[in-house]
Structures are given as structure tokens and as C-alpha cells.
Amino acid sequence: MIDALLAMNNLSIVNAIDELGTICRDFILVCYWAGRKFPCFDKHEFFSWIDSTSHYGACCSFNYHPSVQETITPFAVNTFGVHGGLSVIGTGYPQASDGKSGALYSEGFMLMIHHPHDFAVESAPLTLLKLGTETFISVSPTDSRCSSQVLVLPQSQRSCIIGKDFPVPIENYRQPACTLECLRNEVHRKCDCHPYHLPRQSQIPENIKPIRGCTVFDSLCLIDNFYMLKRLKCQCLPACSDVTYKTSSVVTDFSAHKYSMNIFYTETNLTSFEFIFHIYLSNQVVASNRRIVVVSWISLLANLGGAFSLCLGMSIISLVEVLFYIFLRFYRIQQKLQKQAKEKQIKLVQPLAALQRFPKKEQLLNQKISAFE
């Protein structure tokens, strides 16, 4: 019935959510960056909130560029600390309980921190934003890279992927994007439709028919395969160059504005339906992990040669000559033993062959009888 009603009004599920539900402009009121106010929805390349989706459903995203095949460079900051990041005042009034009917619509929001090129998946660090509170979210990035010696190794040895590993090289490979594609293909195979909250493939070949969008009736298929999709194992290796994030949060009430001269707190009356959150880098420096080849074959031979020369007074070439002589000596000894065994066998066979040349007793008797006749 719901599908027929949507079709009658020429609406998709996404259009119905936009028309009937609340949008980002209903929740996000005031935005500051490093102490300066900016329009929250100015359609800026970086400093702007946009409507998006995640595995939870409809979302609002900041500095989000989900297409990994584009060459968009994420926004990089050179500030840190609570006054050097993003500060937002929001309201939960559109989804707040009326306090009379007993219906509980919302008690807060979920905030996920992820890479600008990644779809917000379940593994992203999650922070709960409760109404009537101020939340300070400290972000600690970790930069992971590989040396040039690791990158020249085969993919099976380095256990990571770069864009050049694909038949058609891509600019930015992301493991979450690979996992998303794996999940999307499995949903297409099981239910023959595309859920509204998953991003569609950016480039679809002309010979492949586009997958239809899932309807309300198709949700039964998604429910039946929910746990199977949760346990889905995708063969997606991490990127050789990647940035991951960890978060820690501190939650307080609105009493901080009494002891602060920041004009940020004058933007609102700070009612019980509102909430404040600050997202910032915790430190000026970040942790960096670099994968290197500890010992290559050339280095191993050089180290062994130096150790042998120092401790045994011999080089690798001398060691090879000694081993060659030992194996050659054993080989010659084995050949000599085989030759001696063969000669003994010949000596035993010769007397037996001589005995076989004498006529047998029956043959002699027959010869005598023939001669007598």
C-alpha cells in the first residue's frame, strides 16, 4: 500500500523522507570554525554541511567527499585545541518528545568521525550527543604509510593495496569503499534492489542494467538477510597510505558559558532542547606508522658476509666454496660406493654364469642313449 501511495505521488523513498521528515537545516543552527562564524549551509567545498546517508539512514555531513575516484584533496587544518576546530550549536526540538503522549522521538544524536572519502560505516568512531549538554570531542589521527621498498613488493607480500594494483588505476583507494562495494553487490544479489541509504556506484558500464531502488516491500528481504549481511566477509585489504581516527569525548552541562567570554555562547539561549559539540584535533602532531623492509635479500647477504668475516675469518664466497666441496665430496663418495657395489654384484654373477654353461645330468643321459643306439 505504501509503495502504491508513493508511486501515485511519483515519489521515491528519498523524496518522501525529504518531504515528510526533518532535514539538516532543522537541526544545525550556528557554526563556528577556529573562533569564526561561518554559514552552515553555504555550499562551500569544505565549510558546509550537506545532506547525506550512512548505515543508520539519513545524516548530515561536514567536509564529505565520498567518491574515491575523484582527485579532491580533503581539507587539512593547521590548528589544534578546543578553540581551533569546529563548534556547532544544534537543536533537537523538531524530534523532541512532547512530554504528554509518551512518544519518545529523540533524546539526542549520533556523531561519527571518518575520512572525508569514506562512507560512514558502523566501524567509524561514534559519539552520542545528548540534548541539553555540551560535548568536547578530541580527534587523534594516525597516519600510516609504506616505504618505496614495500611498495615494489607483490601485493600478497605487502598485504596492502595501492591504486596501481587495479586493472584501471584509481587515484585514491579506500578500504571502506571496497567494503561498501562488496556489501552493495551482495544486497543486489540477494534482494535485486538498491537500498536508499547506500551510495550508488559512480560509474556504471553501459552494458549493465541499473539496479532498481528498493521499495518498502523489499525491506522484508533486507530484514531476512540482516544477520547474513552483518557477517559478510569481504576480501578488502587496507590501503598502503591511510589515515585513521580515534576519538575521546567529555560531556558537560551548559554551565561553561558562565565562565567563558567566548561570543559563541551568546548565539543561543541554551535551552534544554539544544546541544553543543566541539570537534578538534587533540595535538599539534599526529602519530605516524611507517612500514619498511627491515632486511632485504641483499642486506641479509651483506650482514651474513660481514658476520662470517668478523667471527670466522671467512666470506660468503669462501662459505659457498666449502659447501660446494662438501657436497661434491659426498657425491663422489656415493658414486664410488655405487661402483663398488656393482663390481661385487658382477663378481658373484660370473661363477653362477659359468656353472650354467655345463650341460645338465638329464642332457648327458640323453646323449649317451642316443650314442648307444
* Rounded Cα gap, residues 189 and 253, in angstroms: 48
Q: 183, 198 in Cβ contact below 8 A? A: yes
Q: How confident is the model at residue 148 (pLDDT cuts 50, 70, 90)?
A: confident
Report pLDDT digits (tens) over 332-361. 888 888 887 777 766 655 555 555 554 555
CB proximity list for 212: less than 8 A, separation 6 or greater: 192, 193, 194
Report pLDDT digits (tens) over 191-202. 888 888 888 776
Residue type for 205, please? P
Find where cell 537500498 sits.
195
Find where cell 584533496 sits.
73
Say which DSSP state 100 is in. Answer: S
Who has greater pLDDT, 353 or 212? 212
Find where cell 531476512 sits.
224
Q: How confident is the model at residue 137 (pLDDT cuts 50, 70, 90)?
A: very high
Hey, what's the cell of 190? 540477494
- Return the ∠ at Cα 51 (arms to 48 and 52), rounded to 5°: 115
Is the pLDDT at 225 greater than 80? The verdict is: yes
Q: What is the DSSP string of 292-333?
A: --S--HHHHHHHHHHHHHHHTS--HHHHHHHHHHHHHHHHHH
DSSP H or E segment with residue 19: helix 13-20
- Distance of alpha carbon 296 from the chain centroid: 27
> CA-CA-CA-CA torsion for 242, 184, 199, 236, nearest 10 degrees?
10
Q: What is the DSSP string of 122-152?
A: TTS-EEEEETT-EEEEEEEEEEEEE-HHHHT
Tell me what percent of the residues of the chain surpass a pLDDT of 90. 5
Lowest mean pLDDT among 150-159, 318-327, 355-364: 355-364
Pairing mode, strands 274-281 and 287-291: unpaired
pLDDT, residue 279, reads 92
Tell me what percent of the residues of the chain surpass a pLDDT of 70. 82
Q: How confident is the model at residue 97 (pLDDT cuts 50, 70, 90)?
A: low
Backbone angle region of 240, left / alpha / beta, with phi > 0 → left and psi within -120 to 50 → alpha:
alpha
Instruction: Work out the mean pLDDT of the chain and round it to a whole number.
Output: 78
Find where cell 561514534 sits.
126
Q: What is the DSSP string of 182-205?
A: HHHHHHHHHHSSB-TTSPPPS---
Lowest mean pLDDT among 113-122, 191-200, 211-220, 310-319: 310-319
Query: What's phi and psi for 194, nearest 5 deg?
Result: -115, 120
Is the pLDDT at 7 greater than 90? The verdict is: no
Find where cell 582527485 sits.
71
Q: How confident is the model at residue 136 (pLDDT cuts 50, 70, 90)?
A: very high
The arithmetic mean of pLDDT across residues 52-68, rounded, is 80
Pairing mode, strands 242-252 and 126-130: unpaired
Who has greater pLDDT, 348 or 176? 176
* Rounded Cα gap, residues 90 and 29, in angstroms: 5
Q: pTM of the full predicted structure?
A: 0.70
* Rounded Cα gap, residues 72 and 327, in angstroms: 62
